[in-house]
Chain A
Amino acid sequence: DAGVTQSPTHLIKTRGQQVTLRCSPKSGHDTVSWYQQALGQGPQFIFQYYEEEERQRGNFPDRFSGHQFPNYSSELNVNALLLGDSALYLCASSLGLAATTQYFGPGTRLLVL
């Protein structure tokens, strides 16, 4: 049973560039949530996708956008990268929306220079 997978594992970009991160949910899961985790802090909710629609959004600017595909996989796009976007980006999958367990992937570590 495959767990949550994310790609790439590491990424280095320069300010102003754009980046796309990918996530495949755990088998049987249909909901994907994205989190940003700065060093030494807890994960911060970016947004959640269910049935190919953004259902909820955290306090992140429009530079952060996403997409969910019919196979439930998801992408996170960040435009006009800033130094402060350097962080570990975590994808979590779950089944449905109501108070269910979220399983996290290994994350993508993004460094913006």
Chain B
Amino acid sequence: QQPVQSPQAVILREGEDAVINCSSSKALYSVHWYRQKHGEAPIFLMILLKGGEQKGHDKISASFNEKKQQSSLYLTASQLSYSGTYFCGTEEAAGNKLTFGGGTRVLVKP
């Protein structure tokens, strides 16, 4: 069963913030976040292992609440380059397959 992402789409003005959520009904070992632009391959953003850690990449950060099987991706002071579709991929055990959510479309306007 694939994780559920919300919202499905979000439109931002440059400089605004946004949060993308990823929820699973199963216990998770890790959560992987990717961004995909139209016609391109998904680009890796970050991986979070169980333990509630938080990671950051420039002004994009994420958290992982293993008790709730939820992860959130935070886009801070968004830039035009942040536009694309964001996918979370969940892993139920180490070495297990990645199950991706349906994606969240992000459009950042000037």
B37 to chain A, nearest CB (A): 12
The residues of B that contact A90 with a CB separation of less than 8 Å are: 41-42
- Which A residues, 32 to 91, have Cβ-Cβ distances below 8 Å to chain B? 33, 35, 40-45, 48, 55-56, 58, 90
Could you name 20 residue pairs across A and B whose Cβ atoms are closer than 8 Å? A33-B97, A33-B98, A41-B102, A41-B103, A42-B87, A43-B98, A45-B98, A56-B97, A58-B97, A97-B94, A98-B95, A99-B29, A99-B30, A99-B47, A99-B94, A101-B44, A102-B89, A102-B98, A104-B41, A104-B44
Q: Give the shortest distance, in Å, between A37 (CB) and chain B (any CB).
A: 9
Residues of A within 8 A of B (CB): 4, 33, 35, 40-45, 48, 55-56, 58, 90, 96-107
Chain A, interface SS category: loop
Structural contact, B102 and A105, CB atoms closer than 8 A: no
Q: Chain B nearest CB: distance from A51 CB in Å?
A: 13
Tell me the bound Cα distance from A45 to B3 in angstroms: 13
Give the number of residue pairs across the A-B interface with Cβ within 8 Å. 60
CB distance from B85 to the nearest CB of A (A): 9
Given contact pairs A56-B96, A101-B47, A102-B32, a sample of 10 additional A-B residue pairs in the complex whose CB atoms are under 8 Å apart: A41-B103, A43-B89, A48-B97, A56-B97, A90-B42, A99-B94, A104-B41, A105-B41, A106-B40, A107-B41
